[in-house]
Amino acid sequence: MPTPGSTPRPSLRIKPVEAQIAEGGADAEGHSLRRTMGLFQLTAFGIGAVVGTGIFVSLSDIVPVAGPASILSFLLAAATCVLSGLSFAELAGVIPVAGSSYAYAYATFGEAVAFLMGGWLLLEYGVSLSAVAVGWGQYLNELTGTLFGVALPDALSNPPGDGGLVNVPAALLIMLVALLLVRGVRESARATTAMVVVKLVVLALFVGLALTAFDSGNLLPFAPHGLAGIGAGASLAFFSYVGFDAISTAGEEVHNPRRNLPLAIVGSIGVCTVLYCAVTLAAIGAMPPERIGDSPAVLSTIAESVSGSATGAAVIAFGAVVAIASVVLAVFYGQTRILMSMSRDGLIPHVFERVSPTTGTPVANTWIVGGLFAVIAAVVPLKVVLDLTTIGSLAAMALVNLCVLALRRQRPDLPRNFTVPFGPVLPLLGFAFCLYLSVGFGGSTWILFLAFSVLCLLGYVAYGRRHSRLAVATDPVEGAPIP
């Protein structure tokens, strides 16, 4: 394992914690970020990044495999997140910079692994951008259908493989958000808080409405497919939790990050878990599990069948459309910033870090990300993008758990105001849980994931290794710093 000051092979070059923190004092535009966020805002920011399409669309996948025990699937996914979230908190406390998982990997396992982590983050952010946009389109269709009686035909609202040709609304949304980001529009802290309130209110309304038709008979048999079903359900439920690590990217903008980051991570996972379990219980109570598998905008469908009118369905759909659009903005923004850090490190081409002098934003970066993931949203089935996002996020989180252990061994000297308790036990458990959930995916997801990972490593060998800023700063032959 490389240590600072040693003369490692290029792929094992690490970027020391101190260097990352020193650079972290200035944002991509060259200004220092101001520390403006407190614990409450940070927790709201976390909930805002986490609650998106997942809970609105994925019950129709989870309930058929786990039955009423889907609630346990959500708890299992949450446990995985809390364990890994503690690891994020420890690392974010030591390395409070915007690069998050990518930065942690670069400080511990070296450049090749950091590059691979960057690739997995492309699944966690970029591909999830497509997934979230597709879910948004389904609820938009539901909304226009119930309000005006017009919905897009399947051919224009679904990709090939899901009974259509191209998903127009999802791709349009991504391009529209690209336009906003290029012009420098970012969700303000106040808008984030407002969106969080909209989401919580809509989901609470759903729970209240669905509970009026609660039939406890729907809860039996509780676990029709046993433990295996619960595990498979947890793999699918995990998507709904993806995003809490965004909290660790705000390390440069938070008061007292060493205290507030861990609290906000655990707090936002906790709030989401309560919410998701309540929604699941209410949904199953209101509609027999065997019928939940049929509908795309499943929460609206249940609301309509319970209330017997379209109004309930329209309110839920409206809330989903507003709230999910804000997630697209946040995830898209996150993806462009991750690519900027990799580009500043020289691992990917400089076009990704170039900031336009007129708009002050990374214009080319934004259009490349927008174009690529709009196409994916347009033509790839939802299930495929959901599963790829999840397996990529699980891989990234599994590795973050190992980063904690590596950094403790390599840099015991660094100040840690928050340390995951019980020594290596919880990070190791976090790693094992991530592994367990990822095993739940089928062969085709694994093949896509492994092929993508190999491509990333090839990309590192072909480009990153030679253009790395660390390579430029060291003697190419000896790998030693040039005096």
Tokens of 200: 């919580």
In terms of CB distance, is 398 or 406 closer to ligand ARG? 398
- Cβ contacts of 146 within 8 Å, gap of 6 or more: 300, 304, 310, 313, 314, 317
The identity of residue 411, as a single letter, is R
d(C-alpha 95, C-alpha 257), whole Å: 10
**Chain centroid to CA 49:** 8
In terms of CB distance, is 11 or 390 closer to ligand ARG? 390
**Chain centroid to CA 481:** 37
d(C-alpha 184, C-alpha 179), whole Å: 9
CB of residue 218 to ligand ARG, shortest distance in Å? 24
Contact of 126 with 389, CB cutoff 8 Å: no
Q: Which residues bind ligand ARG (CB under 6 A)?
A: 49-50, 52-54, 124-125, 128, 132, 239-243, 246, 327, 331
Angle at 102 between CA 170 and CA 85, to 5 degrees: 85
Which candidate, 423, 421, 42, places its Cα nearest to that of 248? Answer: 42
CB of residue 395 to ligand ARG, shortest distance in Å? 14
d(C-alpha 445, C-alpha 387), whole Å: 7
In terms of CB distance, is 131 or 470 closer to ligand ARG? 131
In terms of CB distance, is 238 or 470 closer to ligand ARG? 238
In terms of CB distance, is 17 or 250 closer to ligand ARG? 250
CB of residue 204 to ligand ARG, shortest distance in Å? 17
CB of residue 200 to ligand ARG, shortest distance in Å? 14
365 sits in which H/E element: helix 363-379
Tokens of 8: 């490692």
CB of residue 358 to ligand ARG, shortest distance in Å? 29
In terms of CB distance, is 106 or 125 closer to ligand ARG? 125
From residue 365, how far is each of 85, 340, 350, 362, 464 by CA, in Å?
A: 29, 8, 10, 5, 17
CB of residue 221 to ligand ARG, shortest distance in Å? 28
In terms of CB distance, is 341 or 468 closer to ligand ARG? 341
In terms of CB distance, is 17 or 97 closer to ligand ARG? 97
Per DSSP, 414 falls in state S
In terms of CB distance, is 243 or 346 closer to ligand ARG? 243
Per DSSP, 126 falls in state I
**Chain centroid to CA 223:** 28
CB of residue 52 to ligand ARG, shortest distance in Å? 2
CB of residue 297 to ligand ARG, shortest distance in Å? 14
Tokens of 114: 């950091």
The identity of residue 430, as a single letter, is G
CB of residue 334 to ligand ARG, shortest distance in Å? 6
- Cβ contacts of 3 within 8 Å, gap of 6 or more: 14, 410
- Cβ contacts of 454 within 8 Å, gap of 6 or more: none
In terms of CB distance, is 128 or 280 closer to ligand ARG? 128
Identify the burial level of 368 via C-beta atoms within 10 angstroms of its C-beta, where 0-12 means exposed, 13-18 middle and 19 or more buried. middle
Which candidate, 317, 237, 315, places its Cα nearest to that of 275? Answer: 237
The identity of residue 211, as a single letter, is L
CB of residue 306 to ligand ARG, shortest distance in Å? 23
In terms of CB distance, is 88 or 241 closer to ligand ARG? 241
d(C-alpha 290, C-alpha 288), whole Å: 6
From residue 145, how far is each of 71, 80, 140, 310 by CA, in Å?
A: 30, 38, 8, 10
CB of residue 88 to ligand ARG, shortest distance in Å? 13
In terms of CB distance, is 236 or 331 closer to ligand ARG? 331
CB of residue 131 to ligand ARG, shortest distance in Å? 7
